[in-house]
A and B are shown apart, each in its own frame.
Chain A
Amino acid sequence: MWTEYLIYIFIGIGLTFNGLGTIGLLRFPDVYTRLHAATKATTFGSIFTSLAVVTWAFTQLYLTGQAWGLTLALHTFVAIAALLLTNPVGAHAIARAAHRSGVLPKYAVVDKLEEVKK
């Protein structure tokens, strides 16, 4: 089927961005810039790997006509929605907790939040 190539493309994009997110964790200097790499890149990559699963499930539904393909696709959609809703909230909570416990951004040109606290 032609969807096979689509699956390869989705997995390729997903793995590339997940890998870049992990490299970003090692390369960036402080908590906040690391959170940039960790949240954005891994959310985006996980969406694309999940889309590969959805494409495969619909292909199997079309080829075999069995209901488990539909179940798998819908459950993966629910997982994508949960990921999109909870990931930014978690990043926000970590960043806020870090700033409250006194971890300042390294090499920062401006820090308005620190000025407010004084």
Chain B
Amino acid sequence: MLAFIITAVVTFVTYLILTAGSGNFLLFWSPSEIIMGIFLSLIVGFITRNYLCKSKNYRMLNPIRWLLFIVYGFGPFFFAMAKANIDVAYRVITGKIRPGIVKIDPKLKTDYGITFLANSITLTPGTLTVDVDDNNVLYVHWINVPEGEEKKEYADINKVCGSFPKWTRRVAE
């Protein structure tokens, strides 16, 4: 039941964002649009209620996590992404690369956390997630492996992705 309500509310909010500007009832929406939105989101929520909340774990409903997610998105994540692009631009122009696939063990437990960290790693400095195994160990393709890192069993996590595992633990676990 809770899964149905969450799915319907998320669908309704998306519908409202997509139809903003259709009238001037309640600032931006027209009444007919809102009624149609409630009707459609109930149908979509009923059909897909078992997919969005598959894990039956509702800790992401906590608003503090949303706030931390926004802080993360505009602060460290955006800064790292800008740095990544300047780094890639430098490697495109000079062609200095030293590629390799290394293992890191971020010690995360949940599926949601590992997805979050893998996406963050793919979009930030010189790293690309290739595979995840059953113990949540990530295999990362690194475009510029520093000297000495290739001999270790697990690569230094601070050099691969900085403070991202810490932020992932705060936001998603």
A103 CB, min distance to chain B CBs, angstroms? 11
Contact between A71 and B20, CB atoms less than 8 A apart: yes
Interface of B is mostly: mixed
Task: Tell whether A95 pairs with B130 under 8 Å between CB atoms, given A23-B92, A40-B84, A109-B99.
Answer: yes
B123 CB, min distance to chain A CBs, angstroms? 5
Nearest residue, chain B, Cβ from A92: B129
Assembly CA distance A32 to B98 (angstroms) = 12
| Number of B residues with CB within 8 Å of any CB on chain A | 40
Assembly CA distance A43 to B80 (angstroms) = 14
Contact between B89 and A20, CB atoms less than 8 A apart: yes
Number of A-B contacts (CB under 8 A): 126
Looking at chain A, what size class is its interface with the partner chain? 35 or more
B8 CB, min distance to chain A CBs, angstroms? 19
Assembly CA distance A112 to B150 (angstroms) = 9
Contact between B21 and A71, CB atoms less than 8 A apart: yes
Q: Any chain A CB within 8 A of the CB of B42?
A: no
Q: Any chain B CB within 8 A of the CB of A74?
A: yes
Between A and B, 28 residue pairs with Cβ closer than 8 Å are: A20-B88, A20-B92, A21-B88, A29-B97, A30-B99, A32-B99, A32-B130, A33-B99, A33-B143, A36-B143, A39-B128, A40-B81, A40-B84, A40-B123, A41-B85, A44-B82, A44-B85, A67-B28, A71-B20, A74-B20, A91-B122, A92-B130, A95-B141, A96-B131, A107-B99, A109-B150, A110-B101, A112-B139
Q: Which residues of B contact A (CB under 8 A)?
A: 14, 17-18, 20-22, 28, 81-82, 84-85, 88-89, 91-93, 95, 97-103, 118-119, 122-123, 126, 128-131, 133, 139, 141, 143, 145, 149-150
